[in-house]
Amino acid sequence: MRTQYNFKISFLPLLLLSLFISFSCDNNSRFYNGMVSSAHPIASKIGLDILKSGGNAFDAAVAVHFALSVVYPNAGNIGGGGFLVYRLNDGEIGTLDFREKAPENSFRDMYIDNIDGKMEVNDKKSKIGHLASGIPGSVDGMVKIYEKFSNLEWDKLLDPSIKVAREGFEVTEKQAKGLNNVKESLLKANDHEIPFIRESEWKQGNLLIQENLAQTLEEIKESKRDGFYKGKVAELIINEMISGGGIITQSDLDNYSSVWRNPIVGYFKNHKIISMGPPSSGGIALVQLLNGAEQLETKSYNHNSAEYINTISEIESRVYADRATHLGDPDFFNVPQKSLLDKNYLTNRFSEIKSEIKTPSSKVKEGSFVGYESDETTHFSIVDKYGNAVSVTTTINGGYGSKVVVEGAGFLLNNEMDDFSVKPGYPNMFGLVGGEANAIEPNKRMLSSMTPTIIEKNDKLLMVLGTPGGSTIITSVFQTILNVIDYGMDMQKAVDAKKFHHQWLPDVLVVEKTTLSDELSNELSQIGHNIVKRSSLGRMDCILINEDGSLEGGADKRGDNIALGY
């Protein structure tokens, strides 16, 4: 029987909360009883209050997830899915796959049209509108987490989010900009009134009220899983599908189930890496990357020097080539996991890399062996006073997903169908290509780059981390780990450090602005790198456990992220 705790969520006034947030981040404050790092101040505050009230990391995870569905609508969700990686205080580890699935009526070539006698990909249908949506898994996942691990009562975990949805919250400057940018797409995708559109432009401090979403959360509070996959909310989802030409049915909702899976476990120097397995490509790719960094002794190079960037990008290119060919939903495809992580295979895979030579992607192929794998996503990391840790990454894929808001229910649907290989070799919205392993099939889970990760050192919890970022998730997590373990950075500096990314195809080196000096940029260009600059890569939410047991947060200043502890 669960112990009941009576508590009340009290929201700090916005100014006071902002001051507290600034102090917490900028001064690298350390805490001993618990910490939550997430993409939004209100969500982190809700999670922290759950921990303070006696809840464990799993209680806080459920509360933070529902909070993000309210205060971070571009990626937080009940209309999408994700992955949980956990480590209990006794060392038990595991993962939950609550990734979306293809509807029963989906089929391999559903996004290929006959245009003037030629079969062409119509990728607009996999990105915007009702046909882009997979079966949501988030609510089922949260219920499974609660039923296995929770300390508190279910309603206590949803009440704070219902309150914020009903009473509203003040949008941040970044949120206002995002809502203004997506206005036209939202208007095209919805023929009914939605809370994300206003006549005048959104401005920082404007109140976003979501009464329909509050009612949906009330249904989930009352009936848990059945409050979403059956009854009133399910009826609204099906009506939305019918009105918009979507294919999700009541049978799809009835049959959806998240799955407990074994984690990917690997080693980097004297550290144990615990991450997510297929249908996420993140865990396998991360362990491959770390093996490459150890084998090629990238620590010997100056951080973000030409030799370092080229060597790391060469490792990344080969790993992403493997990803495109060998990874998919393990329930449908025999993923060669053991072979991909084999030490001999990886030694051969990276043996030809030279720090001063850039290999064209056209000459990089997937590895071979005998026998037979968002940009708007969101991540949160939590450690409780008992020593339990959770790392959770969730998504609706693109920013604001398919742009479709379920009429009467108030939440956005995902556009995860674009994460399948809509046609072998054809890139998705993140430029990632795939093959047969990730082809569309009914009830199949689409391949993901989400990489929620937990790290141990000497059998003790060391780090909890993850990030959004579509195809750049894996490389952002990878480089953040190197920043801490190889370059001795504290958690916040490791998160703040400029990052870069290479994913095999397209053959470009993506770097954050101001990462490269003119001299360094010229040096990399001269050996063959085609450099593309982006405003930011990743929005990490991390926790580092110091030797004295204190918790040190790393919340990404590229967003509104904040790590709060007590």
pLDDT digits 0-9 by tens, 506-519:
899 999 999 999 99
Q: Which two tokens stand for residue 385?
A: 């006073």
* pLDDT score for 374: 38
- Alpha-carbon dihedral sign for residues 417, 418, 424, 430: negative
Which position among 95, 216, 377, 378 bears the catalytic label? 377
Mean pLDDT calculated for residue range 240-266:
98
- The Cα–Cα gap between 511 and 535 comes to 8
* Residue 542 is assigned to a structural domain of this protein: no
* Residue 331 is assigned to a structural domain of this protein: no
Mean pLDDT calculated for residue range 312-338:
94
Given a contact cutoff of 8 angstroms between Cβ atoms, the answer to whether 540 and 353 are in contact is: no
Query: Could you give the C-alpha distances from 375 to 73, 399, 416, in angstroms and in order?
Result: 14, 7, 11
3-state secondary structure of 72: coil
Mean pLDDT calculated for residue range 324-348:
94
Number of structural domains (the chain) is 1
* Residue 292 is assigned to a structural domain of this protein: no
pLDDT at 21 over 50: no
* Residue 46 is assigned to a structural domain of this protein: yes
DSSP classification of residue 337: H
Mean pLDDT calculated for residue range 483-497:
98
* Residue 448 is assigned to a structural domain of this protein: no
* Residue 65 is assigned to a structural domain of this protein: yes
Q: What amino acid occupies position 316?
A: E
pLDDT at 424 over 80: no
Model pTM?
Answer: 0.92
Given a contact cutoff of 8 angstroms between Cβ atoms, the answer to whether 78 and 228 are in contact is: yes
Q: Which two tokens stand for residue 81?
A: 């899915």
* pLDDT score for 366: 59
Residue 208 φ/ψ, nearest 5 degrees: -105, 110
The band of 25, judged by pLDDT with boundaries at 50, 70 and 90, is very low
Q: CA 334, 289, 503: angle at the middle one, nearest 5?
A: 80
Mean pLDDT calculated for residue range 114-129:
88
pLDDT over 90 percentage in the chain? 85
* Residue 496 is assigned to a structural domain of this protein: no
Query: Could you give the C-alpha distances from 237 to 253, 440, 527, 542, 547, in angstroms and in order?
Result: 9, 22, 52, 35, 49
pLDDT at 373 over 50: no
Q: Which two tokens stand for residue 456?
A: 């141990």
- Please confirm, yes or no, whether 377 is among the known catalytic residues: yes
- The Cα–Cα gap between 479 and 486 comes to 10
Spatial CA neighbour of 210 closest among 75, 11, 82, 72: 72
pLDDT at 452 over 70: yes
The band of 361, judged by pLDDT with boundaries at 50, 70 and 90, is confident
* pLDDT score for 432: 67
DSSP classification of residue 182: T
pLDDT higher for 384 or 18? Answer: 384
pLDDT at 426 over 90: no
Q: Which two tokens stand for residue 549?
A: 């047991």
* Residue 68 is assigned to a structural domain of this protein: yes
* pLDDT score for 100: 98
pLDDT over 70 percentage in the chain? 92
Q: Which domain holds residue 189?
A: 35-260+400-438
